[in-house]
Amino acid sequence: MSTTEKKEELFPTIGKVADQADQIVVDEEKPTTVAEDDDERVVTEIESLCMKCHEKGTTRLLLTSIPFFREIVVMSFRCEHCGTQNNEIQAAGEIKQEGMAYTTRILDRSDLDRQIVRSPTCEIEIPEFELTLPPTSRGQLTTVEGLIRDIVADLSMDQPLRKIQDPNGYQMIQSLIDKFKEILGDHEDDDEAGEPVGDVKKTAEKDIPMPPFTVKLDDPAGNSFIEFIGSMSDPKWSQRTYHRTLEQNIALGLVNQEELEENKTLDAPKVANPDAISSENAPVGEDEILVFPGICSSCGHPIETNMKKVNIPYFKDILIMSTNCDRCGYRDNEVKSGAAISEKGKRITLKVEDREDLSRDILKSETAGLTIPEIDLVLTHGTLGGRFTTLEGILDQVYDELAEKVFMSGDSSKAEDKVSFETFLENLRQIKNAEHPFTIILDDPLANSYVQNLYAPDSDPNMTIESYERTWEQNEELGLNDIKVEGYEEDAGARSEGKETAVETAS
């Protein structure tokens, strides 16, 4: 039996688990032995200590997988003596090499059905209400509506006591609870006794106004997710990856702080081939590899980052940086521009007609966005970071990321959304195999991206390159509005003279 087959048996999908449970119910009329009953059981039961009454309770473990997402462990505890119950989920997959950050705008009630996978290391923020939920001790599989109901329940727990002991704190928390109840619409369905009246409607189906708000998920472990609607071109949804900080790696248990204190002494930067340098002020040559010491972001041990200057024909110089940790196996490759910032942005449009076009080299900088209009695929600026690969390589990476991280199951999922996403994945698979022609658009405000011209130095009939003026918003996002490379000495002198004049006037 292969490793993949064992993994599928250990973590069956939710649908297979449900079918297996239904089959067991049908066969319960037959007499079975204890051994047969153990083999057929879909959950594992463990006798556990109840922390409330200190009697023996039962913990049930279900190893399953969420389709298109990852393997999880669903745990349920119940004490028959005092009635204590607890449910939680934990990720059974590995900690990702990068952290994940998701931002979703909740503009109408249908967005309340978006599913959320929250790992114990995930921090959730709702900026409009100045509310931040820190990492918890247990994971959670819920929806946006379920998250808000949990917040209301937690905040309302001590309100009667707080009303007497801390009236100011009571008023502040109560105003926040009222805002969330306005989103849920419960105040219109509940009577004075708190009992529902009339027809009980799902929150997403209520026809009453709802204030818009934003939900942000930040998980250094990369094991959290919030659902998008339709495809990644969902305008209300965005995803961003980032490198974890040293403090985050220590909190995740990936770095031993005691060993880190011993390894803080770093050597000065060195050169792999020092004979290639003629003098200290000589420019970096193309045959020269610079080596920079640093700390591995995964295990915290000393590593070296290699940097090399590469000239791309008919384009510009770039810097390729590669990091490889021999201790934990962490690898990272990044591409930076080695030239000045361009005055204009660049938009490259390539019409891919056959598999030969998939072998084109492509440099996607960390500021570039990628779009395939035929399948509504939109990668915002910064997604996947800087990459120097082939067109086939970058499409494979996008497909693997989507097939691994996205799920379409649960009580709030819609059948048409599931079918739509499966169709989207199938179209993306056909695109990356060049089964039919498609168009790829690479938009880079800094003009640091490149697609290989197979007809160079002549123009490529399948590729269009256009330059455009950056907007003020793009310059502001890139930090270019505050950069001044000419006449800054005069501004510095004027500021110093102004300070001297102000001092004399004050004296």
Question: For residues 196 and 200, what is the distance between their CA atoms, to the nearest angstrom?
Answer: 7
Angstrom distances, CA of residue 481 to CA of 281, 382, 478: 31, 19, 8
The model's pLDDT over 405-444, given as tens digits with 9 standing for 90+, comes to: 555 445 555 667 677 777 888 888 888 888 889 999 999 8
The 10s digit of each residue's pLDDT in 291-344 is 888 877 767 678 888 888 877 776 677 788 888 888 777 777 777 776 677 788
Q: Can you give the pLDDT at residue 126? A: 93
Which residues 6+ apart lie within 8 Å of 138 measured at CB? 88, 89, 90, 120
Q: Is the peptide bond before 209 cis (omega within 30 degrees of 0)?
A: no
Mean pLDDT throughout 151-163? 89
Encoding tokens for residue 427? 């179209």
Integer CA distances (angstroms), 342 to 88, 314, 448, in order: 51, 15, 8
In terms of Cα–Cα distance, which of 15, 68, 67, 69 is closest to 42?
15
CA end-to-end distance (rounded Å), the chain: 88
- Pairwise CA distance, residues 391 & 399, whole Å: 13
- Residue 247's CB is within 10 A of a number of other CB atoms, namely 11
Angle at 407 between CA 403 and CA 411, to 5 degrees: 165
Measured distance CA(124)–CA(88) in Å, rounded:
17
Residue 317 has which token pair?
A: 């110089």
pLDDT category at 93 given cuts 50, 70, 90 is low
Q: What is the pLDDT of residues 469-505, one digit of tens each?
A: 988 888 888 777 777 666 666 665 555 565 555 545 5
**3-class DSSP assignment, residue 239:** strand
Looking at residues 96-105, what average pLDDT do you find?
A: 86
- pLDDT at residue 205, rounded to an integer: 74
Token digits of residue 155: 């905040």
Most distant CA pair in the chain, distance: 101
Is pLDDT of 29 > 70? no
